[in-house]
Amino acid sequence: MASVLIKMKALKENLPKAERLVVNYMASNPEKAGFQSISDVAESVSVSVASVSRLSKKLGYANYKKLRLDLAREIMSNEHIGDIYESIKPSDSEEEITGKVFAGNIKSLEDTFKLLNHKGLKKAAEKISRAKRLVFFGTGSSGHICRDAALRFSLLDVQAESYSDSQEIIIQSIRLGRGDVAVGISHSGRSQITVEALNLVKNGAAATIGISNYLKSPLDKHSDVFLCTSFAESRVKVAALSSRIAQMCLLDALYLLTARCKKVFKKAELMNNYAEELLRY
């Protein structure tokens, strides 16, 4: 089960201003907020009690009291660890920089697993195992993830393709129909082309799967199945770090679950080993 703070971070960017203020306050002061009343929290950030109540429901709680109880338990069980991953500084040593890179990615994987929608992952694998065509959409760095994913799923005898050019994405999204599956990958969940592509795909009756770092994002809204990663960008700010590690790990799990659905575990393993052998030369 995902921790309260992990869910807050995944939801934060797509909340109204008042609810974002509550998230910022609770995430920065979990030890204090975990034992405050709803009116105390609202007063601390100058918002209405209704804003705190709405946030609680968006996080999946019936009321604020249950949210506070989970947060308090999280703190008491030491599941919450303070903001120990600082931004990389010019004065950092080689060992410190390397340590922060590894720590950031390890934390990303841990948090993604806690946030993972296991039922959604299983549903996505079942849809892909029956797909006539499997198409990955993503621009920029997400495009590289898409190409790797399409190659991997091709090893399962799935007609897998990837597109990162804006015009190609729109054209291919219009061509998809019932029995096809489209996977949209966008770290922010707001990539205009990728979001529009999944919208067009849904209109054509094909299944849609979205992968993003933020809950309730536009990509989430257009996905039949939504899978959320977690990457604490505020802790380690460096261009070389992104959510790609968590995305790739999630796609690896989806690949193996699809292989199980298609009952081709052994064949997938042989083809994967053969492909890796060829890449050595």
**pLDDT at residue 194, rounded to an integer:** 96
Query: Does 178 share its domain with 254?
Result: yes
Out of 21-30, 70-79, 117-126, least confident range: 70-79
Tokens 């590690």, located at residue? 245
Contacts of residues 254-258 at CB distance under 8 Å and 24 or more positions apart, as own/partner, are 254/121, 254/124, 254/125, 254/128, 254/227, 255/149, 255/152, 255/153, 255/156, 257/121, 257/122, 257/124, 257/125, 258/125, 258/128, 258/129, 258/153, 258/156, 258/158
The answer on pLDDT for 152 being more than 60 is yes
Higher pLDDT, 17 or 265: 17
Split into its structural domains, the chain has a count of 2
The answer to whether the CB of 228 falls within 8 A of the CB of 246 is no
The answer on pLDDT for 147 being more than 70 is yes
**pLDDT at residue 257, rounded to an integer:** 94
pTM for this entry: 0.74
**pLDDT at residue 77, rounded to an integer:** 65
| Sheet of 134-137, strands arranged across | 160-163, 134-137, 181-185, 207-212, 225-228
Higher pLDDT, 47 or 89: 47
Which one-letter DSSP state was computed for residue 161?
Answer: E
CATH code: domain of residue 70: 1.10.10.10
- Sequence letter at residue 172: Q
Distances (CA, A) of 187 to 66, 202, 234: 30, 21, 15
Out of 1-5, 47-51, 210-214, least confident range: 1-5
Distance separating alpha carbons of residues 221 and 68, to the nearest angstrom:
28
- Ranges 88-102, 107-121, 228-242, 254-268, most confident: 107-121
- State which residues form the domain around 254: 115-279
89 within a domain of the structure (yes/no): no
Out of 151-160, 260-269, 270-279, least confident range: 270-279
Final residue in a domain of this structure, among 27, 54, 76: 76
The answer on pLDDT for 277 being more than 80 is no
106 within a domain of the structure (yes/no): no
Distance separating alpha carbons of residues 164 and 148, to the nearest angstrom:
12
pLDDT band at 237 (very low <50, low <70, confident <90, very high): very low
Distance separating alpha carbons of residues 55 and 107, to the nearest angstrom:
25
16 within a domain of the structure (yes/no): yes
Give the pair of three-digit tokens for residue 160.
Answer: 């897998």
Query: Does 30 share its domain with 162?
Result: no
Per residue in 187-236, pLDDT (tens digit) is 889 999 999 999 999 998 999 999 998 888 999 999 999 999 987 654 44
What is the average per-residue pLDDT within 179-189?
95
Distance separating alpha carbons of residues 190 and 175, to the nearest angstrom:
22
**pLDDT at residue 27, rounded to an integer:** 85
Query: Does 69 share its domain with 174?
Result: no
107 within a domain of the structure (yes/no): no
84 within a domain of the structure (yes/no): no
CATH code: domain of residue 253: 3.40.50.10490
With CA atoms as reference, report the closest residue to 80 among 232, 228, 237.
Answer: 232
CB neighbour list of residue 232: distance below 8 Å, 6 or more residues apart:
9, 85, 104, 107, 108, 111
Provide, rounded to the nearest whole percent, the portion of the chain with pLDDT above 70: 85
The answer to whether the CB of 134 falls within 8 A of the CB of 158 is yes
**pLDDT at residue 83, rounded to an integer:** 43
Out of 65-69, 132-136, 165-169, 237-241, least confident range: 237-241
Per residue in 187-198, pLDDT (tens digit) is 889 999 999 999
What is the average per-residue pLDDT within 237-256?
77
pLDDT band at 157 (very low <50, low <70, confident <90, very high): confident
47 within a domain of the structure (yes/no): yes
What is the average per-residue pLDDT within 71-92?
65
